[in-house]
A and B are shown apart, each in its own frame.
Chain A
Amino acid sequence: AQSVTQLDSHVSVSEGTPVLLRCNYSSSYSPSLFWYVQHPNKGLQLLLKYTSAATLVKGINGFEAEFKKSETSFHLTKPSAHMSDAAEYFCVVRNFNKFYFGSGTKLNVKP
């Protein structure tokens, strides 16, 4: 069975400081992993995806994530937060036709 755990429901950082959003997954197979961002009253937008190529994946807006099989983790990072990064972030695992979503992490960016 697949599951996705986002370890923090809320993260607060100051503008210009690093961002770390944590995600652990369980999967019986070699998974496809994604991070999505959702701004208020909007749909989900793809940030990046991992599909068994390079373990460090670069996405849009300066985000990146590292796949660590031994830790079953896929944490999202950004070196320097911007006010526009304030949003909710979802970690997603895909297995065949189905997608499994984490419960989301709300990122607050303080000026």
Chain B
Amino acid sequence: DVKVTQSSRYLVKRTGEKVFLECVQDMDHENMFWYRQDPGLGLRLIYFSYDVKMKEKGDIPEGYSVSREKKERFSLILESASTNQTSMYLCASSFGNSGNTIYFGEGSWLTVV
């Protein structure tokens, strides 16, 4: 089975702190994604990466950056956390192009106070 692991399930951070959310997948997938999920807004794509050191902005990249130094690991960085970044963050990965499934981690609940 594909496993996507998000190392932190629940975090509480202060406004202005730098926050790292880590994600690791074990299936050698090229594509990795970060989404945030908010009530009534569904899933919104923050960034995705289709190869090591490659990244593309999604729909809501402002206030976020990402790092993909190794194929299996994709990190989401909040340079200076703000209260409007309180949300559930979902990491996902997929293989290749059309037809292949996207697999999700369990999610990271971030509260910024």
Contact = CB atoms under 8 A, between A and B. Distances in A.
A and B found bound together: yes
Interface stretch (B11-19, B62-70, B71-79, B97-105): B97-105
Contact of A92 (B41, B90, B102): B102
A96 B98 contact: yes
B106 A42 contact: yes
Contacts of A101: 42-43
A49 to B, nearest CB: 6
Given A32-B98, A34-B101, A99 B42 contact: no
Interface string A31-42: 010101000011
B31 to A, nearest CB: 6
B42 A43 contact: no
Contacts of B102: 34, 92, 94, 99
Interface of B: 4, 31, 33, 40-43, 45, 48, 50, 90, 92, 94, 97-107, 109
